[in-house]
Every structure is written in structure tokens, then in C-alpha cells.
Amino acid sequence: MRHMVQKQKVMKGKDPMRITMAHGGGGKDSADLMKNIFGKYFGNEILDKMEDAAVIDPFLLCDMENKKMGKLACSTDSFVVTPLEFPGGDIGKLCVCGTLNDLLMMGAKPLYITCGFIMEEGLETDLLERIVSSMAETAKEAGIKIIAGDTKVIEGSGGLYINTTGMGHVPNGRDISAANCRKGDKILLSGNLGEHHACILSARMEIENGIRSDCAFLSDVTETLLDAGINVRTMRDVTRGGLATVLNEIAESSCCEMVIREKDIPVSPDVKGLTDILGLDPMYMANEGKMIAVIPEEEAETALDSVKKTVHGKDAVIIGEVSEILKGSATSDTDARVKLITHLGGTRVLDMLYGEGLPRIC
Amino acid sequence: METATVIENLKNYDGPELKLMEVCGTHTASIFKSGIRSMISPAIKLISGPGCPVCVTPAAYIDKCAEYAMKKGHILLTFGDMMKVPGTDGSLSDLKGSGASAELMYSPFEAVERAAAHPETMFVVAAVGFETTAPAYALAIEDAKKRGIKNLKFITALKTIFPALSWICENQPDIDGFICPGHVSVIIGIRPYERLAAKYKKPFVIAGFEAEHILAVIYDIVNQIKKGEARAKNLYENAVREQGNIKALDIIKKYFEEGPAMWRGLGTIERSGLYLKKDSPFDAGSRGLDADIKLPGECRCGDVIVGRINPDECPMFAKGCRPDAPYGPCMVSGEGACGIWYRNRKL
Amino acid sequence: MCIAIPGKVISLENNKAKVDFSGNTVTVNTGLVDPRPGQYVLVHAGCAIEVMEKEKAEELLEIFADLEDFR
């Protein structure tokens, strides 16, 4: 919805500085942009070398004590959210957290991140600086380094798109995968559904409320689980497509069925109010700071207690379990795998998201 | 009576098979969402009805909308429901890829504000709905008139429920009772259902949209049938007044007049459409949009819409026809009856 | 056919009202109703279509109370 792109804050009495095609030309304007914005916030010993590529010592990926190599995890994601700044975060924080979380969900320790910026002409440089600063701050908090980047400028009206690619180290012997679920495993959800999506929609539609994006990296939750020695089967962050889509993806990978209880699924009253207004379903709405973990039955209580002590898992809850592993020949891909027990005690299929999940009147 | 008792009675019902029609698409969705079918006896069959704009809107209407969306200097505004309904050359959503300017709106008043803010653009509203939404369009037109807004038009596909219910009663005599749409009834009150109940001797009970509302109404209809009663009742008194909303009915009369309307699956029903009065400057050419795509060979959408069969009795259901690979229009958007049934298919 | 939800009227102005839905404030057209602040209105497509007699939670608690016994 182009017309709803954020109204950029304009300082009274002063024309804001904006990105122009010259900033993408590779000449002086580009160099100044690098120095004054990107260089100001993104410095580290690898990036500062300003070579054509970052060169990394692979022994950093080793568990030096036990002389085991482990594995490299790598993930990429592109971020095109509007508005660029929203309650609870901005595209800068989002593009770091999103990629970090993908690494964390594989049980990796995130180490490095790269970033590619596509800036539309007209983007205010003050806004760009706030976003770059936010990225740097988030990366610093997460203990990761931004080691490579790129910028391009295209024609447009002030938009910004960012791609980040992250790399991390998976310790030797760790095997976290969506295919690992077993019968009886419990499904843990780290907190309220739909916050990020609700926040973005509210900002675009100028609905007044106190909803904030839950944009955050989840290392406190994942480290707590792994450090406690929990035999986590799989973890997934609940992003586009929502909880329902994530559960279906895992159920398909593990060829299993799941049962989830609606009464245990946490949704805050203001997010529920917004979804009621727009005719949306929180089960299909994106978060940017929530995850699920599938845990062996006998370890679930311990896992839940540990997670609830973390900042990003304080509202964690067990929402259901893996009810059956499907044996024999491959099940048809139209078979439903996730069953929801409704508030009233009825049951229904919880399918993955089809289409866009558009707000409706009917 | 306790919730548990109501559910128990419905679960244990062992009388003759009953067919109850959930007239309204929103009821179909609520019933699915709350899992009610899994809680009642299989002898109580709930079947979807024609109260679903997504299912009953013919392709010619979408084609007209698409025409405006493709015109330079025009923006088509629509509720999300209509984005995926198939026209002759695809849905509005499909056509966005070819440069159609079709955007979501959340209320017709938003269309008025956008028209006021951008006088250089012609805004055309895909004005779809039933009696619940008609007054909102009328109020929007009234506001636009007062403000002298000239760059706002409406393509209407507004329908009224009473003629459709009469048609169903005439052509589907095996339906035993009707769960009546709660929010349409807020506007029209209980009188139309009293006439239908008296003429066709079947229970018509108005339901709200919470699971509890719907359960109570199913219970009441089954009980009426057991007792040989056939009354119109209002079990949504919190919102529905006997006489309906008089202001709403008046403003509908002020701006709209009845006319024939084409309902996919039912055909043309006289006096079942609402059209802006002739020569209204706000009309974008809404009359005569009756032509429809030919339903593909084995598609039984027509029978599904009138409740002759349930979606899962269509030979294509879940086999050649799924929301991600739809064969017929009821499955396309995922909001039509087949799309909702698909998401309620057996585990 | 019609998603409509109840919200609480916070304030009135001309033919509009600010209505609260569990912490979300939306401006709604009141051309069809005559509410007072504090009352609940049923809102559909940005338009208040009726004033609710009572709060939904209260209504649902009583919904089964008047049902007759199964024959």
C-alpha cells in the first residue's frame, strides 16, 4: 500500500537532506555517505579493512577446547516493511533480529552479519542514520559483527529495503531440525501472538492503541534451553504466516500430527481487539520476537520454568503436543496435521495460511 | 440452562436427520472457528447458504471493477473479501500484476476521505454486501454529496436476504430450519422472518456470531422442530430490535431502489438487489452485471451455494480443488463455503 | 455476511464517535445511532449500526438461561 508509506518527519523550517542518485554513483557522494553514516556506526576490525570481501579465520568456528569443528549455519532475509519506524522498533532493528533469530533457531551461536541496502531517492538521511544506528546497536547487544555490506540507490519516493545474511556456529553434535519430533513431545510458545503484525497495521491505518512490535532477538530463550541441557527437537520463530503456518511446516517435516489448545494460546486484549476490528486471526499473524520449541515430554516442565525466567520468554506457555507420528507410506499432502481444540471444546483443523490473510467484512 | 447441558442435548440428539441452513457466510466461518460441528450429533446437518458475497457475485461484476482499476487516473477500492473472486480474466488480486490499481479499504468513509484529499484521482468503490453494509454506503454518499465531492463513484453488488430466503424455501423444501444472519437482522428486524415462518412453516431464528449464540440457536431450532413449532425468534436481542434500525432502513430507501440481481447458483432473483436510484451521479454503472463464467465441468459450486450439497460432496473437493489450487469459484478466495469447509476437513 | 464488533463509546462529535475496542481507538460514523458515552455500539465497516443493550460478556452468560428444556 504505497500511499500509506510513513509520513517522514520533517524538521520545521529546514529542508531535510535526502538520498539522491548521486549517493549510489560510487563517487564522492557515495564515499561521504559511507563515511558519515555507515562508517560512523558499523566499524569493527574486519569491516574497517574496507577490502572487497571479508576474510574470516575458520578456526573461530571450532570448539577449540574439544578440538571439534562443528558446523556453519547461514541464513538470509530481506526486509521491506513500511513504515520504516514503528512503536517497538524500526527496519534496522528488525533486519538484524530477523536473521539472528533464524540462526538461533538452529541452535547456532550467531557471529557475523552482512547487509545490503537498496535506498530509494528521497529517503531522508536523518532517517537512514537512525536506522543504521539502530542496526549497530542491536548487533552490539547481540555480540555480532557486521562484516560486509553494500548500498544501491534507485528511483523512487523515499523507500528503503535491507537484506541481511547471517552466519553462526553450530557446536559439534547439535542436531536441531523440524524433522525431529516424536510422539508425546510438548510444544512451547514463548509469548503473545500477533504483536508485530498488529503494530504495523495500526501504524499504517492510524488506529490509536498501545500495541508495540515485539521485535527482538531470542538468544536469552534459546541459550537458556540449550545451556540447561534440554534435548530440544526443533525451534522456529513465529514470523510470516503465523503460528499456524509454523506448526504445519514442522508437522509436515516430522510427518506427525499435533494437537493445540486454543485456551492456552496467549493473545493480548489490545491485539485481540485489533484483529476483531479487521477480521483477522492471530494464529496467522506475524511476530518478530516469539518462537516455539518442541521439547521431549519429560523435560517440558523444566524447559518451561527456565524459559519463563527470561525476558523474552516470561509469558511462555505449553500450547499442545505431538499426538501421533504418521507411519507407513507417505501421507497425502492435503491431509491435515494440526488439530485445534476450541474454547468450547470442539475441534477443528488448523491449516497453514492460504493467500494473504486479507482483512474482511464478511 | 448450562452450556454443558445444551451441548450434551445436541450431541445426543437421535431423532430424524435435520438440515439447518446457516444462511450467512460469517456464520459458516464462526461455526468452523468454534468447532461446533464436532460437538453436535451428525444427525443435525448444518449446511451453508447463499449469504456469502464471495460465492454469489458473478464474474461480470468483477470484470467491471477490473475495468476501472485498469483505467488511468482511477483507483478501485474494495474490501478484502473481493480481492480474490475470479472474473473472466482473473481476480483483482491477479490483475494487480498487470497494473490494476485495486486497493483495500476498511470502510466506505475512508473512500470519501481519500477522494477529498486527492481530487485528481477518480475513486471507485466496489460496494458489495447485504443490508448490513448498504446503510454505510448510503451515509458515505450523503457525506460526499454534502462536501461536493465529484471524484467518487460506486459499483454496487448489494443484495437483500428476504428474496434469497424465499427462493431457498421454494426450491429447497428439504431444509428444516434457518439460522438467520445476526447483523443483517440488526438492520431489518424480525418481521421478514415472521412472514417466512408463517408461509413455509419452518423455524427462523436470529443468531449472533459467538459460538454460544449459534449453539443456543441450533438448540432452539431443533427443539422447535421436535415440538412441531415453526416460529421466528430473536436470540440476539442485545443487538437486534424487533423493528430493526429505522434510521438505516430510511437511508437505504433514500438512496437505493430494488432491482433484479444475479446470484451465482440461484439465478436472477427479482427485487433482490439494491441499486443507486437512476441518474445518481455516484453510480459507476452497476445494473445488468449478470454474466458469469461458465463453471468448469465437474464443479458443483452452484449446488453448494444453495445447500443442495455440502462442499465435501463435490467430486472435486480436496482432490482437484483446494485453496492453493482452486477449480471453482467457491474455493478460490478461501472465504467461500468450500474454502471454509476445506479448512474443516477430516484429520 | 457481516463482521461487526461491539466497542465502547468514549466521546462524540458531530456524527462521529471515538470508540474503544479493548485498547484500540477508532473513529466511527454514528449516522444510524444515538449513543451516549459509555454505551457499547456494534460497529460494521466503520459505521455504528446499533447500540448494544449490555456488554457482550454479560450477554453471553445469560444466553442459555431462557432456553426451554429439550422435549
SS (H, E, C) chain B: CCHHHHHHHHHCCCCCCEEEEEEEHHHHHHHHHHCHHHHCCCCEEEEEEEECHHHHCCHHHHHHHHHHHHCCCEEEEECHHHCCCCECCECHHHHHCCCCCEEECCCHHHHHHHHHHCCCCEEEEEEEECCCCHHHHHHHHHHHHHCCCCCEEEEEEEECHHHHHHHHHHHCCCCCEEEEEHHHHHHHCCHHHHHHHHHHCCCEEEECCCHHHHHHHHHHHHHHHHCCCCCEEECCCCCCCCCCCHHHHHHHHHHEEEEEEEECCCEEEEEEEEEECCCCCCECCCCCCCCCCCCCCCCCHHHHHCCCCCHHHCCCECCCEECCECCCHHHHCCCCHHHHHHCCCCC
Which chains would you list as touching B if contact means 3+ CB atom pairs under 8 Å? Answer: A, C
Q: Which residue among A336, A346, A360 sits closest to B345, beta carbon to beta carbon? A: A336
What are the backbone angles phi and psi of residue B322, rounded to the nearest 5°?
Answer: -140, 160
Nearest-CA distance from C10 to chain A in Å? 13
Q: Which A positions 189-228 lie with beta carbon below 8 A of chain C? A: 202, 207-211
Q: How many CB pairs under 8 A join B and C?
A: 125
Nearest-CA distance from B243 to chain C in Å? 12
A333 lies within 8 A of chain B by CB: no
Q: What is the DSSP string of A174-222?
A: ----TT---TT-EEEE-S-SSHHHHHHHHHHHT-B----------HHHH
- Is A269–C22 a contact, with Cβ atoms under 8 angstroms apart? yes
Which chains would you list as touching C if contact means 3+ CB atom pairs under 8 Å? Answer: A, B
- Is A334–B84 a contact, with Cβ atoms under 8 angstroms apart? no
Nearest-CA distance from B82 to chain A in Å? 9
B83 lies within 8 A of chain A by CB: yes
Which range has the worst mean pLDDT, A41-45, A101-105, A264-268, C35-39?
A41-45
A259 lies within 8 A of chain C by CB: no
Percent of the residues in chain A that have a pLDDT greater than 70, as a whole number: 89
First to last CA, chain C: 32
- Is B238–C54 a contact, with Cβ atoms under 8 angstroms apart? yes
Q: Which residues is A79 bridged to in the sheet? A: A162
Q: What is the pLDDT of residue A6?
A: 40
Higher pLDDT, A161 or B2: A161
pLDDT (average), residues A151-176: 94
- Is C24–A362 a contact, with Cβ atoms under 8 angstroms apart? no
pLDDT (average), residues A64-89: 89
B215 lies within 8 A of chain A by CB: yes
Nearest-CA distance from A134 to chain C in Å? 28
Q: Which A positions 264-283 lie with beta carbon below 8 A of chain C? A: 269-270, 272-274, 276-277, 279
How far is B170 from B180, CA to CA, in rounded Å? 17
Q: What is the pLDDT of residue A11?
A: 42
Q: What is the pLDDT of residue A279?
A: 81
Q: Which residues is B19 bridged to in the sheet? A: B45
Q: What is the pLDDT of residue A332?
A: 57
Nearest alpha carbon to residue B323 among B305, B309, B342, B310: B342
- Is A272–C22 a contact, with Cβ atoms under 8 angstroms apart? yes
Across chain A, mean pLDDT equals 89
Nearest-CA distance from A287 to chain C in Å? 19
- Is B9–C47 a contact, with Cβ atoms under 8 angstroms apart? no
pLDDT at A176 over 70: yes
Is residue A118 classed as helix, strand or coil in its secondary structure? strand
| Domains assigned to chain A | 2-170 (3.30.1330.10), 186-349 (3.90.650.10)
Q: What is the pLDDT of residue B3?
A: 85
Q: What is the pLDDT of residue B269?
A: 95
pLDDT per residue as tens digits for the range C56-71? 888 888 888 888 888 6
Q: What is the pLDDT of residue A5?
A: 37
Which range has the worst mean pLDDT, A14-28, A310-324, B124-138, B182-196?
A14-28
Which range has the worst mean pLDDT, A27-36, A299-308, C5-14?
A27-36
How far is A161 from A102, CA to CA, in rounded Å? 19
Q: Which residue among B52, B135, B223 sits closest to C1, beta carbon to beta carbon? A: B52
Nearest-CA distance from C55 to chain A in Å? 15
pLDDT (average), residues A62-70: 72
Nearest alpha carbon to residue A262 among A285, A281, A235: A281
Domain boundaries, chain C: 5-62
pLDDT (average), residues A202-226: 95
- Is C60–B210 a contact, with Cβ atoms under 8 angstroms apart? yes
Nearest alpha carbon to residue A318 among A174, A184, A179: A184
Higher pLDDT, A344 or C34: C34
How far is B81 from A2, CA to CA, in rounded Å? 20
Nearest-CA distance from A191 to chain C in Å? 19
8 A C-beta contact, residue A252 and residue A328: no
Q: What is the pLDDT of residue A361?
A: 60
pLDDT (average), residues A214-228: 97
Q: What is the pLDDT of residue A4?
A: 35
Q: Which residues is B104 bridged to in the sheet? A: B78
Q: Is the ipTM of this complex over 0.85?
A: yes
Split at pLDDT 50, 70, 90, the class of A52 is confident
pLDDT per residue as tens digits for the range B148-163? 999 999 999 999 999 9
- Is A346–B322 a contact, with Cβ atoms under 8 angstroms apart? no
Domain boundaries, chain B: 55-160+244-276
Query: Greatest CA separation found in chain A?
Result: 72
Instruction: Give the mutation candidate from B27, B33, B107 for the C interface (greatest C CB count, under 10 A).
Output: B107
Q: What is the pLDDT of residue A327?
A: 72
Top CATH class of C5-62 equals mainly beta
Nearest alpha carbon to residue B137 among B148, B149, B125, B146: B125
Find out if CATH 3.40.50.11740 is the number for domain B55-160+244-276: yes
Q: What is the pLDDT of residue B228?
A: 95
8 A C-beta contact, residue B86 and residue B95: no
Helix (H), strand (E) at residue A250: helix A242-254
8 A C-beta contact, residue A341 and residue B347: no
Is residue A129 classed as helix, strand or coil in its secondary structure? helix
A17 lies within 8 A of chain B by CB: no
A207 lies within 8 A of chain B by CB: no
Split at pLDDT 50, 70, 90, the class of A333 is low
pLDDT at A13 over 80: no
B32 lies within 8 A of chain A by CB: yes
The list of chain B residues with pLDDT below 50 reads none
pLDDT at A331 over 80: no
Q: Which three cell numbers stand for residue C14?
A: 458531530
Q: Which residues of A touch B133 (CB under 8 A)?
A: 361
Q: Which residues of C touch B110 (CB under 8 A)?
A: 46
Report in angstroms the alpha-carbon separations of B42 from A177, B26, B178: 40, 22, 17
Nearest-CA distance from C11 to chain A in Å? 14
Report in angstroms the alpha-carbon separations of A237 from A101, A185, A234, A261: 7, 18, 10, 19
Across chain C, mean pLDDT equals 91
Q: What is the pLDDT of residue A32?
A: 86
- Beta strands A109-120 and A317-325, pairing class: unpaired
Q: Which residues of C touch B231 (CB under 8 A)?
A: none
Q: Which residue among A270, A360, A362 sits closest to C24, beta carbon to beta carbon? A: A270
- Is A202–C45 a contact, with Cβ atoms under 8 angstroms apart? no
